[in-house]
Amino acid sequence: MKKFLIVGLGNIGSDYVNTRHNIGFKILNYIAAKESITFETRKLGDIATLKIKGRSLLLLKPNTYMNLSGKAIKFWLEKENIPLENLLVITDDLNLDFGTLRLKTKGSAGGHNGLKDTQDKLQTTVYNRFRFGISDSFGKGKQVDYVLGEWSDDEKSKLKERLEVSAELITSFALAGVNNTMNQFNGK
C-alpha cells in the first residue's frame, strides 16, 4: 500500500483552535470528521489514518508547536518509511488572498517558521507544501495579532466550502499525483 504523510501545521491548545495560523489543523480535522476517523495522540503529535483506493494517508498534527514542526515531520517520515515525495505540509500563507490554494513542490519558507523548521530538519527545500491563503489584511506591526487572530465573520461564512476544496486537493495529491493536482487546484 502506497503511504503518504499529510501534515497540518498549527499550534496546540484551545487558544489557537480557530486562528488563521491553525488552518493546517482545521483542514485535517475537517477530513477526519468527514471520513469518521479519529486522531490518536502518539509521539510528537496526533495521528489518524485514512485509507483511499489502495493508499494510506497518515494525517499528522504535530504537538511540538508551529516553530518546531520539523521534528515531528522527520520522525514520522522515518518511522513509517514514507518517501519525501509523498509528504505534504499544509500551512497558512499571508501572500495569498483568503481561501486561495497553492500547491508547490519546493521553495523557500516565505517567512513561515513552521516551514523554516521543516526545511532545517529535512535538510531540503524540495518537499510538497500546500499553502492556504489567509490574506494580509492587517495594519503595520499587526501581523502576529492577525495570524493568531480568529477568522472574520466573512471568512467563517466561506470557510466550509474552502475546507471541502482543500480536502479534495489532498485526495487528488494521493490519487492523481502532485502535477495533476497543481494543474487542477492552484489558484482556485
DSSP the chain: -EEEEEEE----SGGGTTBGGGHHHHHHHHHHHHHT---EEETTEEEEEEEETTEEEEEEEESS-GGGHHHHHHHHHHHTT--GGGEEEEEEETTS-TT-EEEESS---TT-HHHHHHHHHHT-S-SEEEEEE------TT-HHHHHTSBPPHHHHHHHHHHHHHHHHHHHHHHHH-HHHHHHHHTT-
Residue 76 has which C-alpha cell? 514520522
Q: Which three three-digit cell numbers place residue 119?
A: 526545511
Pick the catalytic residue: 21, 61, 102, 129?
Answer: 21
CB 147 within 8 A of CB 100: no
Question: What distance separates the 2 farthest-apart alpha carbons in the chain?
Answer: 49
Q: Is 21 a catalytic residue?
A: yes
Q: What amino acid positions are annotated as catalytic residues?
A: 21
